[in-house]
Amino acid sequence: MIIQSDYSPPAWLKNCHVQTVVGTWIKRNSNIPVHRQRVELADDDFLEIDWLNHPTKDAQPTLLLLHGLEGSIESSYIQGLLKHYATTDWRVGVMHFRGCSGVPNRKLRSYHSGDTADLHYVLNQLKHEGPLFVAGFSLGGNVLLKYLGEQGADCIIDAAIAVSVPFDLDAAAKRLDKGLSKCYRWYLIRELKRKTRMKMVQFPDYEWISDEALAQIKSFVDFDHLLTAPVNGFASGKAYYDECSCGQFLAHIKKPTLVIHAKDDPFMTPDAIPTSESLSDCVTLELSDNGGHMGFLRQNRSGGLDRYLDDRIPAWFEERAALLLAHL
């Protein structure tokens, strides 16, 4: 099902690039106290989860948050939600993908848009008595939707939300080669190159591309073909995109799922947005005309800025939690 979002920004916030860029600045560095858990993975690598709150009741909900490409607990969209949940007794964790918690991971591989194995491992390690929810953002949303589709009715997640996901990785990569979207590409590629150079030092025996070739990479298409794909066992960048794009998994999702997306998202094109026919009966796609990529900014009563997501996500999960807890 596709529905029209209630989100509507003031006129001066309707530009998608204003939404996207300004959205990265608000609600950062809130210094909300968390405690870090290191999860040892089956392949002798690790990832880390930052936990907010200790639930006072065994049946309280658990919410796991999955950040976007090169994101972390410091990402502004994560911080806004933590600020909300800090005043509740929900158990909320930010799962950092491998190498994203500020500590390099041990293995050659790190993470990518289709890496559902680590999420599966973490979910099955969690001890929880109450409802289990997951929210994913951008890359994290792609991972989440792919996982939900792979697991189908066997998925242990009770309900999920995905925001600003790249439904088609190939289309998203090419969209970032156009117009002002090149600025986002430049920033993200720069960060990925920085981590790649660290891996080159950590694993000198791997057959890396040359320093000159790495320096010349300007697009995600090239980066994913020359680095993401071979490091993670894909035959090519195209194979990686074809196998990991979440759009093809939406029809197989069997748990209540809300997908929040803006038609003007500068990380992709409107023609990548799924049709109602490609969604399972469990998926609701909430579309807004504006919002950019992970923006959805609005002006609050005090004249400052906050996110529509900081209300919409908790409200939707609270509805699902009430239904589930009523049957415990």
Domain end (from 217, 244, 271): 244
One domain for residues 147 and 92: yes
Question: Which one, of 3, 4, 27, 87, lies nearest residue 298 by Cα?
Answer: 27
What residues contact 88, with CB distance under 8 A and at least 6 apart?
53
Catalytic residue among 50, 293, 306, 310: 293
303-313 mean pLDDT? 91
Is 245 in the active site? no
Q: Any catalytic annotation for residue 138?
A: yes
Active site residue 265: yes
Q: What does the DSSP assignment read for 248-304?
A: GGGGG--S-EEEEEETT-TTS-GGGSPPGGGS-TTEEEEEES--TTTT-EEE-TTS-
Domain identity same for 105 and 147: yes
**Together in a domain, 146 and 258:** yes
CATH code for the domain in which residue 274 is found: 3.40.50.1820
Domain co-membership, 34 together with 108: yes
Contact 95, 73 (CB under 8 A): no
Strands 2-4 and 132-137: unpaired
Stretch 165-178: mean pLDDT, rounded? 95
Range of the domain at 263: 2-167+249-325
Looking at the fold, whether 33 and 82 belong to one and the same domain comes out as yes
Residue 49 and residue 18: Cα distance in Å, rounded?
31
Please indicate, yes or no, whether residues 158 and 224 belong to a single structural domain of this protein: no
Residue 291 and residue 153 in one domain: yes
8 Å CB contact between 320 and 161: no
Q: What is the pLDDT of residues 22-65, one digit of tens each?
A: 988 876 666 788 999 999 999 999 999 999 976 556 678 999 99
What angle in degrees, to the nearest 10, is found between the helix axes of 139-151 and 117-125? 70
Claim to verify: residue 139 and residue 211 sit in the same structural domain: no
Residues 199 and 163 in one domain: no
Asked whether 23 and 297 are in contact (CB, 8 A), the reply is: yes
Is residue 106 a contact partner of residue 46, using CB atoms and an 8 Å limit? Answer: yes
What backbone torsions phi and psi does residue 221 show, to the nearest 5 degrees? Answer: -55, -45
Name the active-site residue from 158, 170, 265, 306: 265
- Alpha-carbon 50 to chain mean position: 16
Confidence of residue 323 (pLDDT cuts 50, 70, 90): confident
Q: What is the pLDDT of residues 219-236, one digit of tens each?
A: 999 999 999 999 999 999
Clarify whether residues 141 and 65 are in a common domain: yes
Last residue of a domain, one of 244, 259, 282: 244
Collect all residues with Cβ–Cβ distance below 8 Å to 178 and sequence separation of at least 6.
none
Identify the active-site residue in 138, 181, 245, 288: 138
End-to-end CA distance of the chain: 28
What share of the chain has pLDDT > 90, as a percent? 84
**Into how many domains does the chain fold?**
2
Task: In whole angstroms, give the CA distance from residue 131 to residue 157.
Answer: 8
Claim to verify: residue 9 and residue 98 sit in the same structural domain: yes
Q: Report the candidate in 38, 59, 177, 164 with the shortest Cα–Cα distance to residue 105.
A: 38
Rounded CA gap, 10 and 304, in Å?
12
Q: Where are the beta strands (DSSP E) in 108-239?
A: 132-137, 159-163
pLDDT of 105 = 96
| Residue 159 sits in the same domain as residue 177 | no
Final residue of a structural domain among 222, 244, 266: 244
Task: Give residue-wise pLDDT tens across range 86-134.
Answer: 989 899 999 999 999 999 999 999 899 999 999 999 999 886 678 999 9
Query: Token match 């790249």: residue?
Result: 166
* Residue 76 DSSP code: H
- List the Cα angle 15/19/20 in 5-degree steps: 120
pLDDT band at 328 (very low <50, low <70, confident <90, very high): low
What is the predicted pLDDT for the residue at 54? Answer: 63
- Residue 283 dihedral angles phi and psi, to the nearest 5°: -105, 130
